[in-house]
Every structure is written in C-alpha cells, then in structure tokens.
Amino acid sequence: MQRTLVLVKPDGVQRGLVGEILRRLEQRGLKLVGLKMMQISNEVAARHYAEHQGKPFYDGLLAFITSGPVVAMIWEGREAVSVVRSLMGTTDPLKAAPGTIRGDLALDLGMNLIHGSDSPARAETEIVLFFSHGELHDYDRTIDRWIRE
C-alpha cells in the first residue's frame, strides 16, 4: 500500500473545512495512518518548498504556509498519491472540476485549501519531514475487504 502526505493549509483550518476534507478522503476508501495539527516552522516550510526557491512566488508560499496552523495527515491506500491528487483537483481552483475539494470549496490560487504529495518519491520525502515513525499507525480495518479485492 502506498502512503501520501496531505496538509489542510491555514485557509482550510480557518474556514473550518478540516472535517469535510477528512470526510472526503475517508469516503474514498483511504486509510488514515497519521494525523496532527501543527504550526509549520520557517525551516520546515523552506525544506518543504525548496524546489520553488528563487521563483517569484516563493516568499509568499512560505509566508502563507506558516501563517497559521495546518492539519497534517498521512493516508494509505492503493495508488494513494494519485487518488488524493484527483480528489484535490487542479492547483487553480477556478480550473478544478466540480466534485473535487478545490473545485467545490476554493476560489483563489493562493488559498487552495490543501496540499498533497505529487509523486510517490515526493510522498516519502514529505512524510519524514512532517512525521516521525512513531506517529504513524499500522492497523487492520475490517472494512478493507469491502474496499479492495
């Protein structure tokens, strides 16, 4: 099973959308294996967004992601990265399909509610950036036999 990081960004927390976002991921059949509310430090934010360093929007990204608490989650499931990415919708909410988190709940590119790892390799890097091994939980769900063969 694949794991991926999901962050409900400060705008999602402030708007009270954590439960709705979590609900959508659970309903899809993904398994929650890590969850915490946290304030992202400047150091972690800089490491998280290192690929964007030097771009015109970099400073704004850091300022936004550190502006308030986020809810960090690790989800597990078959093709979890691509499943989460499809549930999120495109980065620009105005171009996101109805039925996606961004398509239904967001209007602004900078305030797009959610982050999800964009590849399995990136997920591995992001998971260790936000969670220690002891914060992740391996457990069996009886419902899993009704989700996948």
Residues ≥6 apart with Cβ < 8 Å to 24: 87, 101
The tens digit of pLDDT for each residue in 81-105 reads 999 999 999 999 999 999 999 999 9
Whether residue 49 contacts residue 58, with contact meaning beta carbons closer than 8 Å, is answered with yes
pLDDT > 90? residue 27: yes
Active-site residue flag, 115: yes
Name all domains of the chain by residue range, CATH numbers in brackets. Answer: 2-38+72-139 (3.30.70.141)
Residue whose structure tokens are 């989460």: 84
Contact between 102 and 93 (Cβ < 8 Å): yes
Instruction: Give the global pTM.
Output: 0.94
Q: How confident is the model at residue 123 (pLDDT cuts 50, 70, 90)?
A: very high
Q: Considering 48, 52, 115, 137, which one is annotated as catalytic?
A: 115
